[in-house]
């Protein structure tokens, strides 16, 4: 077969949702054996375009191009039959199955009698792992496997099923720098073998380092199709936002004045499966201080915040709020004592998506004056107050009774921050506060966090974005396997140092 | 499910439309069945509509039949809204009916203005206590409420059977029934000679209170949040255990009130087989009404009309009573189908 010029692409793809033009005449072309980056902010149309390329959605106008020919992809199975597979941002592995079982799920090799042929499966798995240049214990249960191995298995699963076009949505979001390098190396190897990769990311340095070409989307249109040789990070960011972006940054310094707002003493905690994730951790968080928590996903961050916020009782140790033992307090008592919480899981914990914007802002305080009186809610008072808060936190919305899911990701996150900061907490536990938020939104949220800190608020910032920690935190505590691997403060800290601590090496 | 988030006090028409769809489908299925057995569906439906709504007597009969369904629908909706799949209203209905009857035949010397509230309160009290039990089990021990409330229905029904054959059996009575409630304890008839009693208006009042509860009270707001997203409601500091306990108690109280109102208004005593499944019909109505007040009112009246028309229709024609069961069954099945789901899912940009 003659090699096509375009392995996968789009020609004048337009997709409307009601009055919203999600994709507006998008052209995209990825030659076989290349990596094409797709970047853009929230609402730029990346997700819609990827859904179309994967057969989950159909364009209103224009067509998908596969092997130089216009095609109509009826569903994901149709796309897969043409060799197109996707790794989603949220991992799709079955938690209780082993990595091997996850690999072959849905296409199991069988012996006579319909029994799964484990030997054949394992042989194939090893062949794929060798091809990818990774070492894997295939008998690990997925939930126990380190996050970067799960990521690799997601990719190998596509290869196992015969895909040679890989669509990767934010594949490096949860990895440590070293693991990111390994993953990018894997992608380059796959490309050199002739596979075609669409790499969706907002980490522009990674895009520039691994991609052969970059397509920039903004407001549903292609605003540029360029190459790493022609563009740098600042140029890409400007293309994405439409104007130069400036990130707030503050000079870190040790803040020792003031009694700690939140203290952890010998904190040991287990996850929902009973696995110990946090071992004997001590930490103090003082007023006006931003403490960053870094670590590979699953290093104990979730358990630390659960213990502080009150989502789960720790196994041992104490949580103190302003010096008073709060280990046994309820969530609402801790909130009353001044703890705010920005959840990493905006869709399932940070917001109630079908509920109105005002309901989301007032939730948790709806029983307190002035929002309720004589046992009844006071909608006019609530509306007035919510309007003020939404205005102060720059939320763009149509009507405060609209469901919060009608907002863009960045605006949804602003609603979360509005709710939490409007309560005037003393300490804010912020987990991945800018996840899924575009560059302009990130800068805005960073300014809000810094503003809160300037007025004396303490912030525990748990983030996978090391740049975010570097820009905002006074000191960065790195967790490795549930223990504090090290702490970096002052101007001399480096990304490389954090990266080494994250995988258990000395800084 | 695409539950619209209604603004406070803004009627929710989308929900009302979704509630009407199952009836349309049911009428179509019923028409096919009737046509297949050689009857003209339009004639039959016209006859049923006449029997259900033709004249004050028939409307009164329909509203009387709708009364227990409206009560049990609201009782169910209170817990459904909070995300608790409570199927125990049938049991509360039995217990409340017995409690109301016992008060009614015991305090025979009390005047109506005291006796009727006492009877109703007894029903609400026992129903409320009854469903508090699975509430505690769910809130503290994470016992699945579907299983516990389902099983407690059998306990409640057989407990009332035991009591009505023992301490509360009417002297000299052969069948399992309590003595008659003192006439002062009967719910007054509003439009004699029709059967319509004050019970329907109590049910309406409960429905209005439910409407206010879900839109304007903190507990109703918490219930909605918890039903839509339990992790969120927990994270913003809502006391989820207390919420479960309160909504279960409330659900049981309304279910018990339903039972005592039925005893005082219709049967005038407690008899074995007290409920022909009102708790379940109410559950179906709550599902098809999507827990909305207007949807449940329409659903209860339609089911009431089916019940009252069904019994008389077969007196005047050769139409089998079973067609009513078929219609009810089809309505219930399609009520549970989430029509909103079938619509194309909106994509994300």
Report how far apart the first and last C-alpha atoms of chain B are (Å, whole number).
20
Average pLDDT of the residues in A396-407: 88
CA distances A124 to A103, A156, A183, Å, are 10, 11, 21
Angle between helices B56-81 and B218-228 (to 10 degrees): 70
Question: Is residue A217's pLDDT more than 50?
Answer: yes
- What is the model's pLDDT at position B5? 40
Strands A290-294 and A84-87: unpaired
The 10s digit of each residue's pLDDT in A231-279 is 888 888 888 888 777 777 777 766 667 899 999 999 999 987 788 899 9
Query: Do A498 and A353 share a domain, yes or no?
Result: yes
Pick from A241, A272, A300: which residue ends a domain?
A241
Q: Provide the shortest C-alpha distance from residue A355 to chain B (in Å).
A: 5
Q: Provide the shortest C-alpha distance from residue B136 to chain A (in Å).
A: 18
Q: Assess if residue A345 is contained within a domain.
A: yes
- What is the model's pLDDT at position B18? 64
Tell which A residues from 260 to 319 touch B, by Cβ distance under 8 Å: 309, 311
Q: Assess if residue A3 is contained within a domain.
A: no
Q: Assess if residue B47 is contained within a domain.
A: no
User: Is B217 in contact with A377 (Cβ distance < 8 A)?
Assistant: yes
- What is the model's pLDDT at position A90? 66
Q: Provide the shortest C-alpha distance from residue B193 to chain A (in Å).
A: 41
d(CA A136, CA A125): 9
**How many structural domains does chain B have?**
1
Q: Does A376 touch chain B (CB under 8 A)?
A: yes
Q: Assess if residue A337 is contained within a domain.
A: yes
Q: In what order do the strands lie in the sheet with A69-71?
A: A20-30, A8-17, A61-66, A69-71
Q: Assess if residue B130 is contained within a domain.
A: yes
Stretch among A225-229, A339-343, A486-490, B87-91 having the lowest mean pLDDT:
A486-490
Q: Assess if residue A30 is contained within a domain.
A: yes
> Which residues, at least 6 apart from A92, have a Cβ–Cβ distance to it below 8 Å?
A154
Query: Do A227 and A307 share a domain, yes or no?
Result: no
- What is the model's pLDDT at position B253? 97
The 10s digit of each residue's pLDDT in B186-199 is 888 887 777 889 99
Q: Which residues pair with A263 in a beta bridge?
A: A284, A320
Q: What are phi and psi of B118, to 5 degrees?
A: -65, -45
d(CA A348, CA B235): 10
Q: Provide the shortest C-alpha distance from residue B8 to chain A (in Å).
A: 7
Q: Does A349 touch chain B (CB under 8 A)?
A: yes
Average pLDDT of the residues in A130-152: 83
User: Is A330 in contact with B239 (Cβ distance < 8 A)?
Assistant: yes
Question: Is residue B151's pLDDT more than 90?
Answer: yes
d(CA B106, CA B83): 39
Contacts with A350 from chain B: Cβ below 8 Å = 232, 235
Q: Assess if residue A249 is contained within a domain.
A: no
Q: Which residues pair with A215 in a beta bridge?
A: A38, A225
Tell which A residues from 27 to 86 touch B, by Cβ distance under 8 Å: 42-45, 47-48, 51, 56-57
Q: Assess if residue A250 is contained within a domain.
A: no
Q: Assess if residue A252 is contained within a domain.
A: no
Contacts with A377 from chain B: Cβ below 8 Å = 8, 216-218, 221
Query: Do A343 and A201 share a domain, yes or no?
Result: no
Q: Does B229 touch chain A (CB under 8 A)?
A: yes
Query: Do A232 and A279 share a domain, yes or no?
Result: no
Query: Do A200 and A287 share a domain, yes or no?
Result: no
Query: Do A412 and A310 share a domain, yes or no?
Result: yes
d(CA A299, CA A496): 18
Q: Provide the shortest C-alpha distance from residue A356 to chain B (in Å).
A: 6
Between A and B, how many residue pairs show a Cβ–Cβ distance under 8 A? 110
Domain with A278, as residue range(s), is: 262-502
Question: Is residue A312's pLDDT more than 80?
Answer: yes
User: Is B5 in contact with A403 (Cβ distance < 8 A)?
Assistant: yes
DSSP string over B179-195: PPPPGGGSPPBSSTTS-
Q: Does A435 touch chain B (CB under 8 A)?
A: no
Chain centre to alpha carbon of residue A15: 25
- What is the model's pLDDT at position B251? 97
Chain centre to alpha carbon of residue A230: 28
Q: Does B341 touch chain A (CB under 8 A)?
A: no
Q: Assess if residue B21 is contained within a domain.
A: no
CA distances A395 to A400, A413, B296, Å, are 10, 9, 37
User: Is A43 in contact with B4 (Cβ distance < 8 A)?
Assistant: no
Q: Does B232 touch chain A (CB under 8 A)?
A: yes
Strands A483-489 and A262-270: unpaired
- What is the model's pLDDT at position B345? 38
Average pLDDT of the residues in B96-118: 92
CATH of the domain at A266: 3.40.50.300
B77 vs A114: which has the higher pLDDT: B77
User: What is the largest distance, in Å, between two alpha-carbon atoms of chain A?
Assistant: 78
Contacts with A51 from chain B: Cβ below 8 Å = 347
Q: Assess if residue A254 is contained within a domain.
A: no
Q: Does A241 touch chain B (CB under 8 A)?
A: no
**Nearest by Cα to A26 from A39, A36, A12:** A12
C-beta of residue B93 within 8 angstroms of C-beta of residue B127: yes
Contacts with A43 from chain B: Cβ below 8 Å = 349
B299 vs B318: which has the higher pLDDT: B299
Q: Assess if residue B122 is contained within a domain.
A: yes
By C-alpha distance, the chain A residue nearest B7 is: A401
Tell which A residues from 207 to 236 touch B, by Cβ distance under 8 Å: 220
Q: Provide the shortest C-alpha distance from residue A54 to chain B (in Å).
A: 13
Q: Does B223 touch chain A (CB under 8 A)?
A: no
Question: Is residue A1's pLDDT more than 70?
Answer: no
Chain centre to alpha carbon of residue A158: 22
**How many structural domains does chain A have?**
2
Question: Is residue A33's pLDDT more than 90?
Answer: yes
Facing B7 at nearest CB: one of A220, A376, A401: A401
Strands A290-294 and A458-462: parallel
Query: Do A444 and A333 share a domain, yes or no?
Result: yes
Domain with B142, as residue range(s), is: 69-298
Q: Does A401 touch chain B (CB under 8 A)?
A: yes
Structure tokens at B118: 């006492």
Contacts with A59 from chain B: Cβ below 8 Å = none
Query: Do A232 and A271 share a domain, yes or no?
Result: no
pTM over 0.95: no
Chain centre to alpha carbon of residue A334: 27
DSSP string over B122-149: HHHHHHHHHHHHHHHHHHHH---HHHHH
**Nearest by Cα to A20 from A289, A398, A338:** A398
- What is the model's pLDDT at position B37? 82
Q: Does A249 touch chain B (CB under 8 A)?
A: no
Q: Assess if residue B290 is contained within a domain.
A: yes
Query: Do A95 and A214 share a domain, yes or no?
Result: yes
- Run of H or E residues at A61: strand A61-66
**Nearest by Cα to B297 from B308, B305, B289:** B289
Pick from A210, A241, A272: which residue ends a domain?
A241
Contacts with B8 from chain A: Cβ below 8 Å = 377, 379, 401
Give the other-Cβ count within 10 Å of A247's Cβ: 14
d(CA A23, CA A80): 23
The 10s digit of each residue's pLDDT in A154-201 is 889 988 988 899 999 888 877 777 788 888 999 999 999 899 999 988
d(CA B185, CA B109): 10
Query: Do A122 and A187 share a domain, yes or no?
Result: yes
- What is the model's pLDDT at position B7? 41
- What is the model's pLDDT at position B323? 76
Facing A349 at nearest CB: one of B5, B217, B235: B235
- Residue length, chain A? 507
d(CA B185, CA B183): 5
Give the other-Cβ count within 10 Å of A498's Cβ: 23
Query: Do A215 and A344 share a domain, yes or no?
Result: no
DSSP SS3 for B40: coil
Q: Assess if residue B346 is contained within a domain.
A: no
Average pLDDT of the residues in B132-160: 94
Structure tokens at A182: 């390994």
d(CA B7, CA A398): 14
Contacts with A401 from chain B: Cβ below 8 Å = 5-8, 10
Q: List alpha helices for chain B, DSSP H.
A: 13-36, 41-53, 56-81, 89-106, 112-141, 145-165, 198-216, 218-228, 230-235, 240-262, 278-288, 293-316, 322-336, 339-342
- What is the model's pLDDT at position A2? 67
Facing A354 at nearest CB: one of B3, B217, B347: B3
Which residue carries 């796309």 as its tokens?
A79
Indicate the pLDDT class of residue A397, thresholds 50, 70 and 90: confident
Structure tokens at A166: 């890989």
B37-50 burial code (b ≥16 CB/10 A, e <16): eebebeebbebbee
The 10s digit of each residue's pLDDT in B17-69 is 666 677 788 888 888 888 888 888 888 888 888 888 888 888 998 999 999 99
Contacts with A364 from chain B: Cβ below 8 Å = 236-238
C-beta of residue A86 within 8 angstroms of C-beta of residue A50: yes
C-beta of residue B53 within 8 angstroms of C-beta of residue B62: yes
C-beta of residue B308 within 8 angstroms of C-beta of residue B62: yes
- Counts for chain A of helices (H) and strands (E), in that order: 16, 22
């Amino acid at each position: 077969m003659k090699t096509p010029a375009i392995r996968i692409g789009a020609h004048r793809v337009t997709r409307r949702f009601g009055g919203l033009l999600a994709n507006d005449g998008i052209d995209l072309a990825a030659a076989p054996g290349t990596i094409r980056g797709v970047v853009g902010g929230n609402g730029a149309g990346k997700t819609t375009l990827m859904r179309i390329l994967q057969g989950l959605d159909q364009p209103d106008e224009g067509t998908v191009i596969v092997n130089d020919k216009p095609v109509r992809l009826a569903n994901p199975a149709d796309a897969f039959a043409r060799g197109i597979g996707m790794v989603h941002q949220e991992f799709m592995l079955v938690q209780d199955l082993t990595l091997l079982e996850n690999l072959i799920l849905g296409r199991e090799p069988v012996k006579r009698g319909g029994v799964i042929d484990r030997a054949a499966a394992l042989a194939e798995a090893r062949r794929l792992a060798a091809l990818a240049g990774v070492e894997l214990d295939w008998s690990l249960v997925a939930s126990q496997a380190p996050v970067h191995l799960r990521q690799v298995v997601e990719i190998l699963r596509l290869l196992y099923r015969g895909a040679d076009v890989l669509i990767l949505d934010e594949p490096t979001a949860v990895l440590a720098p070293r693991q990111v390098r390994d993953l990018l190396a894997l992608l380059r190897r796959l490309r050199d073998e002739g596979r075609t990769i669409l790499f969706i990311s907002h980490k522009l340095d990674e895009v520039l380092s691994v991609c052969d070409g970059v397509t920039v989307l903004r407001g549903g249109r292609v605003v540029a199709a360029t190459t790493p040789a022609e563009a740098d990070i600042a140029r890409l960011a400007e293309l994405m936002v439409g104007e130069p972006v400036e990130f707030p940054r503050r000079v870190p310094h040790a803040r020792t004045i003031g009694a700690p707002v939140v203290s952890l003493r010998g904190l040991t905690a287990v996850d929902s499966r009973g696995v110990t994730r946090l071992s004997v951790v001590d930490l103090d968080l003082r007023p006006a201080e931003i403490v960053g928590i870094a670590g590979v996903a699953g290093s104990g961050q979730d358990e630390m915040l659960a213990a502080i916020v009150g989502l789960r009782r720790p196994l041992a140790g104490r949580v103190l709020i302003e010096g008073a033992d709060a280990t046994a307090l309820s969530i609402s008592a801790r909130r009353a004592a001044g703890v705010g919480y920005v959840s990493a899981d905006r869709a399932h914990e940070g917001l109630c998506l079908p509920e109105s914007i005002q309901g989301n802002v007032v939730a948790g305080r709806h029983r307190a004056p002035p929002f309720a009186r004589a046992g009844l809610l006071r909608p006019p008072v609530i509306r007035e107050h919510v309007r003020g808060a939404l205005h102060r936190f720059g939320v763009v919305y149509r009507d405060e009774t609209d469901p919060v899911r009608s907002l863009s990701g960045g605006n949804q996150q602003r609603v979360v921050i509005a709710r939490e900061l409007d309560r005037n907490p003393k300490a804010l536990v912020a987990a991945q506060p800018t996840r899924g938020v575009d560059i302009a939104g990130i800068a805005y949220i960073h300014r809000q966090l810094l503003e809160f800190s300037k007025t004396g608020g303490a912030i525990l910032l748990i983030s996978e974005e090391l740049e975010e920690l570097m820009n905002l935190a006074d000191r960065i505590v790195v967790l490795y396997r549930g223990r504090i691997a090290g702490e970096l403060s002052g101007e001399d800290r480096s990304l490389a140092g954090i990266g080494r601590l994250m995988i258990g090496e000395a800084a | 499910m695409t539950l619209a988030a209604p603004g406070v006090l803004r009627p929710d028409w989308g929900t009302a439309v979704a509630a009407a769809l199952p009836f349309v489908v049911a009428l179509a299925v019923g028409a096919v069945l009737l046509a297949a057995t050689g009857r003209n569906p339009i004639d039959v439906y016209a006859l049923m509509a006449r029997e259900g709504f033709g004249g004050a007597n028939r409307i009164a009969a329909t509203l009387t039949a709708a009364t227990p369904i409206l009560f049990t629908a609201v009782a169910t909706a209170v817990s459904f809204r909070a995300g608790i799949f409570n199927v125990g209203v049938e049991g509360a209905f039995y217990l409340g009916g017995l409690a109301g009857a016992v008060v009614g035949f015991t305090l025979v010397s009390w005047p109506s203005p005291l006796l009727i509230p006492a009877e109703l309160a007894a029903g609400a009290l026992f129903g409320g206590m009854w469903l508090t039990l699975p509430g505690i089990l769910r809130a503290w021990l994470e016992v699945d409420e579907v299983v516990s409330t389902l099983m407690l229905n059998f306990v409640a029904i057989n407990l009332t059977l035991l009591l009505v054959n023992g301490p509360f059996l009417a002297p000299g009575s052969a069948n399992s029934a309590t003595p008659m409630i003192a006439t002062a304890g009967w719910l007054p008839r509003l439009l004699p000679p029709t059967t319509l009693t004050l019970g329907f208006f109590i049910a309406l009042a409960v429905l209005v209170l439910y409407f206010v509860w879900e839109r304007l009270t903190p507990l109703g707001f918490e219930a909605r949040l918890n039903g839509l997203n339990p992790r969120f409601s927990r994270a913003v500091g809502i006391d989820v255990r207390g919420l479960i306990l309160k909504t279960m108690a409330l659900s049981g109280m309304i279910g018990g009130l339903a039972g005592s109102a039925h005893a005082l208004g219709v049967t005038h005593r407690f008899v074995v087989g007290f409920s022909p499944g009102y708790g379940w019909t109410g559950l179906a109505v709550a599902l098809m009404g999507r827990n909305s007040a207007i949807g449940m009112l329409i659903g209860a009246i339609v089911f009431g009309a089916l019940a009252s028309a069904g019994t008389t229709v077969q007196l005047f024609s050769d139409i089998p009573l079973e067609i009513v069961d078929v219609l009810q069954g089809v309505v219930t099945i399609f009520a549970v189908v989430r029509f909103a789901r079938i619509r194309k899912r909106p994509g994300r940009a």
